[in-house]
């Protein structure tokens, strides 16, 4: 049996028929082993580059692309290029590539630490916001300074759900490139504070069930017990292992999303029933106060009805919000 091993000599390819017995020829073995060694080298170098990039990104912190300055953006691209270069360029020294990667990490890191302590340096490196609209008037000079066109300004306003410039009191172009907008007072949405309403305090919801398993830390943060959770699941007739996600809000309402999307989850009506019962009690007490001739009983019924009415006034907004 013969095996063709191709080799290149003086710019031409020659096919040498080499006898193939229990092993390849020495020349083919050498080429195959070198090729295998290259693969192993690239894998090891790539894993090392990935590890270094992971450590660098963890140290530099979390930022979205829109939050990066131009220098940080260029630094990120360069770090990625260097990581790819030292992974595949097996003929060059790996240490020198890693050293370049370290330098490109160290300089932005030191700059970031420095700018945290100096406002002037921070403004010089990161820039500062530029006012585009003030007191409802567009500042054309600032638009030219930032090379911002009217079309770009209108586009940024539309991203904030603002379609009329006349509705804007103040707008500033942030250093990140985003435009922050403050509407005029008459165009701002009403808040409970504007209506002299004291809202109930609300905390962040807790994901108490994930992938069919109870999250004990979230249960502790919610202030409810596992027994309460199981009771709520029994009320709606859903087993724990069929719940993909379960979330409890600050009002004690449990929301569940099931693996079985065809199964309809009944909506609990306890709060609505409680509200209806209290209203019925108030109506009954008012009727009793009108029908009785006993003055003492009449006052008692009227007082009880007034107290229930006060409770209803406090409970109704909270129950409707649940």
Q: Is there a domain that residue 29 lies in?
A: yes
The beta strands (E) that lie in 61-199 are given as 130-134, 137-138, 168-173, 179-183
The confidence band for 82, taking pLDDT boundaries of 50, 70 and 90, is confident
Place of tokens 């007739």: 237
Looking at per-residue pLDDT, the higher value among 84 and 69 belongs to: 84
- What's the rounded Cα separation, in Å, for the pair 219 and 173? 42
Same domain, 212 and 286: no
| Tokens coding 131 | 């006012």
Q: Is the dihedral of CA 145, 150, 155, 158 positive or negative?
A: positive
199: in domain: no
Q: Are strands 179-183 and 168-173 parallel, antiparallel or unpaired?
A: antiparallel
Q: What is the pLDDT of residue 122?
A: 78
Q: What is the mean pLDDT of residues 58-72?
A: 69
Is pLDDT of 19 > 50?
Answer: no
Mark whether 177 and 223 lie in a shared domain. Answer: no
Beta-ladder partners of 282: none
* Domain limit, last residue, from 96, 121, 146: 121
Q: Which residue has the tokens 């165009």?
A: 187
Mean pLDDT of 105-111: 86
Residue 218 within a domain: yes
Section 117-125 average pLDDT: 79
| Domain count within the chain | 4
Residues 162 and 55 in one domain: no
Percentage of the chain with pLDDT > 90?
Answer: 26
Assess whether 225 and 280 both reside in one domain.
no
Please tell me the total number of residues recorded for the chain in this structure: 322
For residues 255 and 282, state if they share a domain: no
pLDDT tens, 23-52?
444 454 555 555 557 788 888 888 888 888
Two tokens, residue 30? 């050498």
What is the tens place of the pLDDT at every residue in 236-259?
888 999 999 999 988 788 899 998
**Residue 101 and residue 34 in one domain:** yes
The pLDDT value recorded for residue 16 is 45
| Nearest one of 6, 45, 47 to 28, comparing CA atoms | 6
The contacts of residue 313 (CB under 8 Å, 6+ apart) are none
Which of these, 140, 156, 131, 181, lies nearest to 66 by C-alpha position?
A: 156
Per-residue pLDDT for 70 more than 80?
no
Q: Are residues 75 and 23 in the same domain?
A: yes
- 239: domain CATH number is 3.30.240.20
Tell me how far apart the alpha carbons of residues 254 and 188 are, in angstroms, rounded to a whole number.
33
Domain assignment of residue 175, yes or no: yes
Examine the domain organization and report whether 111 and 21 are in the same domain. Answer: yes
Q: Which residue has the higher pLDDT, 20 or 46?
A: 46
Q: How confident is the model at residue 319 (pLDDT cuts 50, 70, 90)?
A: low
CA distance 21 to 218: 67
3-state SS of 246-277 is: EEECCCCCEEEEECCCCCCCCCCCHHHHHHHH
Averaged confidence pLDDT in the chain = 80
Q: Are residues 231 and 248 in the same domain?
A: yes
Query: Using CA atoms, how far apart are residues 174 and 126, in angstroms rounded to an integer?
Result: 10
- Please say which residue of 228, 252, 268 terminates a domain: 268
Confidence category of residue 264, pLDDT binned at 50, 70, 90: confident
Would residue 217 count as lying in a domain?
yes
Range of the domain at 259: 206-268
Q: Greater confidence, 211 or 53?
A: 211
Residue 316 has pLDDT above 80, yes or no: no
The mean per-residue pLDDT over the stretch 186-204 comes to 80
pLDDT interval class at 160 (50, 70, 90): very high
**Does 247 or 313 have the greater pLDDT score?**
247
Residue 303 lies in a domain: yes
State whether 44 and 114 are in the same domain: yes
- Any idea what the Cα angle at residue 321 is, between residues 320 and 322, rounded to 5°? 95
What is the model's pLDDT at position 4?
Answer: 39
- Residue 188: helix, strand or coil by DSSP? coil
Which 3 state secondary structure label does DSSP give 309?
helix
* Residue 244 shares a structural domain with residue 165: no
| Ranges 9-13, 286-290, 313-317: which has the least confidence | 9-13
- Of the pLDDT bands very low, low, confident and very high (cuts 50, 70, 90), residue 232 is confident
Q: What are phi and psi of 183, to 5 degrees?
A: -80, 160
- Three-state secondary-structure class, residue 317: helix
Same domain, 51 and 150: no
DSSP label at 165? G
Span of 104-113, 135-144, 267-276, 303-312 with lowest mean pLDDT: 267-276
């Amino acid at each position: 049996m013969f095996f063709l091993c191709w080799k290149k000599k003086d710019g031409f390819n020659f096919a040498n028929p080499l006898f193939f017995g229990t092993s390849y020829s020495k020349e083919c073995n050498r080429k195959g082993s070198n090729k295998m060694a290259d693969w192993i080298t690239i894998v090891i170098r790539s894993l090392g580059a990935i590890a270094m990039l992971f450590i660098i990104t963890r140290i530099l912190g979390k930022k979205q692309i829109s939050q990066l300055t131009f220098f940080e953006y260029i630094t990120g691209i360069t770090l990625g290029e260097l990581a790819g270069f030292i992974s595949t360029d097996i003929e060059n020294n790996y240490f020198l590539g890693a050293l370049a990667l370290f330098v490109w990490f160290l300089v932005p890191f030191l700059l970031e630490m420095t700018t945290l302590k100096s406002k002037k340096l921070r403004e010089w490196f990161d820039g500062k916001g530029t006012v585009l609209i003030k007191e409802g008037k567009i500042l054309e000079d600032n638009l030219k300074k930032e090379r911002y066109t009217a079309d770009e300004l209108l586009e940024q306003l539309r991203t904030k759900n603002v379609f009329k410039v006349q509705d804007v009191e103040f707008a500033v172009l942030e250093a990140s490139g985003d435009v922050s907008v403050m509407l005029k007072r008459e165009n701002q949405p009403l808040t409970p504070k504007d209506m002299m309403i004291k809202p109930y305090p609300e905390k962040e919801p807790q994901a108490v069930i994930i992938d069919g398993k109870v999250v004990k830390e979230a249960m502790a943060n919610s202030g409810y017990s596992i027994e309460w959770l199981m009771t709520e699941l029994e009320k709606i007739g859903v087993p724990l292992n069929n719940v993909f996600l379960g979330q409890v809000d600050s009002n004690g309402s449990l929301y569940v999303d099931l693996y079985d999307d065809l199964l309809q989850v009944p909506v609990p009506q306890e709060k609505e029933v409680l509200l209806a019962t209290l209203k019925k009690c108030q109506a009954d007490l008012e009727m009793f106060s009108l029908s009785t001739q006993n003055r003492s009983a009449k006052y008692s019924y009227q007082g009880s009805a007034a107290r229930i009415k006060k409770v209803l006034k406090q409970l109704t907004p909270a129950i409707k919000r649940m």
